[in-house]
Amino acid sequence: MTRNGSRKRSRIEDQILEVAWYYFHQDLNQAEIAEKLNISRSTVVNYLAEARARDYVRVSLRPNVFTEREIAEALKSRFGLRDALVVPAVADDAAQSLTRVARATADWLPSLLSPGDRLGVSWGETVFKISVAAERIDMPDLQIVQLVGSRATPLGFAAEACSSNLAERFGALCINLHAPLIVQNPELASLLKQEPVIAEQFTAIKNCNKTLFAAGSCDAESHVVQNGLVSDETLSNYLKKGAKAVVCGRFIDGNGRPIPGEIDDRIIGATLDTMLGKELGLLASAGPDKVEPMRAAIKGGFATHVATCSQTAEALLEAA
């Protein structure tokens, strides 16, 4: 790049920062900023959008706005949770409601972590959205641990991305699980778990004192089906046994009890017993299809904290 080109880019950079400062710190409106900097109002709009895109600014509501709502208190009381966060749902748009839940959870999560914590991170769309939305905060002596093995997915939210994103955002040490999520037979899974590197990573999983996870559904649209973790036939067999939810790739019934099945010994990742008894079990899910899975995960004792939307919370309370 030429020197003139570099100077022009630097001037634009300075203006983006000035626009952001005036707008967010001095409460000037867009017209006032345009007049002060002698630029068009449309340029101000573009610079504000660019400041957000570059992660220069972050606009968020304090998490306690959502944890102190009456419906959040009702969830805590009904299910014996330590805390709950409930964002307003977007009417007739479950995808947008989920995005809101992920963003609010990302803002809430740092306040739930302390130096020395080892946060086990599951996978799925919700967890991935949280990892992308998380603010860049330096959190000293934090470990982020991938709870389940990796699997190529057409849905775009691989387990290693979830853990790596969060570790990068929080400046934490990332411990990825360098193994596939599922293999062809139990013997191969057993051999892989005995590999020194993988065995060490499993020790890190067992030593997690906090977890972040979502509750998966048990229908044909479930991520475990869409990602090829189970076939339609295998899913049908689990449903006949009373499956209501999926946690870390493993099936549980309506009371949160494990349902043994043919994939359990082939999965390389956290077992259900290692997900229990944590200082923090943050369950983040939302949507009509997540009500039953969330209730099962809560009843099973996997969650100490819940993040969801108002419609899902209302359905949980009605069905409890």
Strand segments, DSSP code E, in the chain are 83-87, 118-121, 143-146, 173-175, 210-213, 243-247, 250-253, 280-284, 305-309
CA distances from 308 to 65, 125, 131 (A): 14, 14, 16
How high is the pLDDT of residue 13?
87
Q: Average pLDDT, stretch 79-100? A: 93
Q: Is the pLDDT of residue 38 over 80?
A: yes
Task: At 89, give phi and psi (nearest 5°).
Answer: -75, 155
For 124-159, write each residue's pLDDT tens digit: 889 999 999 998 899 999 999 999 998 776 656 788
pLDDT level of residue 4 (50, 70, 90 thresholds): low
Q: Which is nearest to 29 in space by CA: 16, 48, 54?
A: 48
Q: Is the pLDDT of residue 283 over 80?
A: yes
Whole-angstrom distance, CA of residue 26 vs CA of residue 29: 9
Q: Going from the N-terminus, what domains does the chain have, and what CATH number goes with each?
A: 3-53 (1.10.10), 64-319 (3.40.50.1360)
For 237-279, write each residue's pLDDT tens digit: 999 999 999 999 999 999 999 999 889 999 999 999 999 999 9
**Pair 281, 209: CB distance under 8 Å:** no
CA distances from 120 to 130, 174, 176, 178, 295 (A): 14, 10, 10, 15, 21
**Pair 275, 258: CB distance under 8 Å:** no
The rounded mean pLDDT for the chain is 91
Interior/surface letters 283-293, b for 16+ CB within 10 angstroms, e for the rest: bbbbbebbbbb
Whole-angstrom distance, CA of residue 216 vs CA of residue 4: 54
Residues 6+ apart with CB under 8 A from 63: 85, 104, 107, 108, 111
pLDDT cut 70: percent of the chain above it: 95
Whole-angstrom distance, CA of residue 87 vs CA of residue 106: 13
Q: Which residue has the tokens 């400041």?
A: 51
Q: Which residue has the tokens 């000037």?
A: 28
How high is the pLDDT of residue 145?
97
Whole-angstrom distance, CA of residue 208 vs CA of residue 248: 14
Q: Is the pLDDT of residue 3 over 60?
A: no
Amino acid at 266: R
pLDDT level of residue 5 (50, 70, 90 thresholds): low
Whole-angstrom distance, CA of residue 150 vs CA of residue 226: 15
